[in-house]
Amino acid sequence: MRGLPLHEKLAGLVRIGIALYSVRDLDELLEMIVEEAMDICGAEGGTLYLVRDSLLEFHITRNRRLEKAMGRERMSDFFEKLVIPISTTSMAGTCALTGKPMNIPDLYALPADFPFRHNPELDRRTGYRSVSQLTVPMQGRSGECVGVLQILNALDENGQPVAFVPDDEMLLSAFAAQAGVSIQNAQLDEKLRRSHQETLFRLSGAAEYRDKETSNHIRRMSHYARLIAAGMGLSRLEVANIYHAAPMHDVGKIGIPDRILHKPGPLTADERTVMESHCLIGARILEGSDVPVVHQASVLALTHHEKWDGTGYPQKLSGRRIPLEGRIAAVADVFDALSSRRCYKEAWPEDKVLEYLTDQKGKHFDPDLVDCFLGQFDEVRRIQATHQDTEEDFKKSEALSSHLSQDGVDQAA
């Protein structure tokens, strides 16, 4: 926008504000903020820090010249994900501390009484020449600092670095105030989403008090389901819905009597029928909602035991007549059941589990979904590592299980 009359720049700022507030994903938003900040002031580079635990955390850096010369990926390697204190030992730190913009015409000619020098190390390593720098704080709704925005090298019409002008300072400050509130909104959204998911995991995990599964099973299974949904190219919203609905797939087990749920030996045919009714009970608990996640959960509850070849239950659906979410849950649920230890069985070795999944392509499982899952196996291993069952989890699970089956024994006696 450099070169436009002030009122057009301001009108531009209003438009940009609307665009910012339309983005609800934090990462996407941060990218947009740096990009727009550079555009507004005709800068060649930009960096964004966020406040976290009274520190400034480096998030994004852009530099058009370096990206062109070495590619964006390689360029990023030069910038460590560093964390700096909110203090007068750095430009960004000072700015976060004072809440005031800092406009430096030449980084290599800082006044003698300046509390710190520009570190030429990065310029030396990249061959770039940093000249002018404008740093502004981003404020939240109550004026608190949520981050710092820093742009580098205003370019004149010949592409030569010049100083930022007072108009740039005013515009970037106004933009930073918009950016600050939009970041705060996105962070709040993220917190709410996390809160929601945590509540779901807890409530669904309550099933571990009746079932021999740990709440980590539900977490892992939900992550696997999300992974497959994303890998199959579903929309962001669909992926999120499956992720949020997955923890509820076994909620119907709440309606299964203890004597069947906790029976140590194999079930009789009648008992198996009752056990299998957990799909219908779950669907009934969740059915008829106009909230997409709850509807999704009811479909999942109903169909996660169907099999691709039609030998599953309760409806004996086959192939693509099984809703996609049910087919996804089948892979995720069985994979986790086999690959993790339960209090009544050891975990299968990884190669045996993979062999089983592959063998069941077109029998139990939708072949495409198995391929999609196996194609992202690094991520699967990461999920396993993050949500590992501890020795304590087992003790808890075993104690509960014996508590409940003992009651059964008491009663029989």
Beta-strand relationship, 83-85 and 43-52? unpaired
Query: In this complex, which beta carbon is closest to its own copies, that of residue 258 or of residue 368?
Result: 258
Length of the chain: 413
192 counts as binding its own copies under rule CB under 8 A: yes
Tell whether residue 6 is a contact of its own copies (CB under 8 A). yes
Which one of the spans 35-43, 100-108, 154-162, 282-290 is the region binding its own copies (CB under 8 A)? 282-290
Kindly tell me which residue out of 47, 130, 153, 204 binds its own copies, with binding defined by CB under 8 A. 204
Contact criterion met (CB below 8 Å) for 344 and 212: yes
Considering only 120, 257, 349, 375, the residue that binds its own copies (CB under 8 A) is 257
> Cβ distance 365 to 308 under 8 Å?
yes
Please report how close the Cβ of residue 314 comes to its own copies at its closest, in angstroms.
Answer: 17
* Of residues 339, 363, 392, the one with CA closest to residue 224: 339
Q: Tell me: does residue 198 bind its own copies (CB under 8 A).
A: yes
| Residue 248 sits in the site that holds its own copies (CB under 8 A) | yes
Nearest-approach distance from CB 26 to its own copies, in angstroms: 15
Should residue 291 be labelled a site residue for its own copies when binding is judged by CB under 8 A? yes
Instruction: Tell me if residue 253 is catalytic.
Output: yes
Footprint on residues 108-127 left by its own copies (CB under 8 A) = none
Q: In one letter, which amino acid is 370?
A: V
The two structure tokens encoding residue 182: 């939009």
Q: Which is nearer to its own copies, 64 or 259 (CB)?
A: 259
Torsion angles phi and psi, residue 157, rounded to 5 = -65, -20
Question: Which one of 55, 60, 102, 206 is in contact with its own copies (CB under 8 A)?
Answer: 206
Beta-bridge mates of residue 61: 47
Q: Which is nearer to its own copies, 9 or 223 (CB)?
A: 9
- Residue keyed to tokens 């010249």: 65
Phi, psi of 13 (to 5 degrees): -65, -40
Please give the Cα distance from 85 to 102 (Å, whole number): 17
Which of these ranges, 21-29, 302-310, 326-334, 349-357, lies near its own copies under the rule CB under 8 A? 21-29
In the complex, least distance from residue 17 CB atom to its own copies, rounded to whole angstroms: 5
Q: CA-CA distances (angstroms) from residue 156 to 3, 44, 132, 164?
A: 10, 11, 12, 10
User: Buried b / exposed e across 132-152, counting CB within 10 Å, b at 16+?
Assistant: bbbbbbbbbeeeebbbbbbbb
Q: 18, 57 in Cβ contact below 8 A?
A: no
What is the footprint of its own copies within residues 166-185 (CB under 8 A)? 174, 177-178, 181-182, 185
Residue type for position 20: L
**Catalytic member of 81, 253, 316, 361:** 253
How many residues bind its own copies, per CB under 8 A? 61
Q: Which stretch binds its own copies (CB under 8 A): 66-74, 154-162, 310-318, 404-412?
A: 404-412
Tell whether residue 21 is a contact of its own copies (CB under 8 A).
yes
Query: Is 242 among the residues that bind its own copies (CB under 8 A)?
Result: no
Task: Decide: is 163 part of the binding site for its own copies (CB under 8 A).
Answer: no
Choose among 408, 226, 257: nearest CA to 325: 226
Query: Rounded to the nearest 10 degrees, what angle do helices 236-245 and 324-339 cross at?
Result: 50
Identify whether the C-beta of residue 136 lies closer than 8 Å to the C-beta of residue 111.
no
Residues of this chain that interact with its own copies (CB under 8 A) are 6-7, 10-11, 13-15, 17-18, 21-22, 24, 141, 174, 177-178, 181-182, 185, 188, 192, 194-196, 198-200, 202-207, 209-210, 244, 248, 251-252, 254-255, 257-260, 274, 281, 285-286, 289, 291-294, 297, 400, 404, 407-408, 411-412
Active site residues: 253
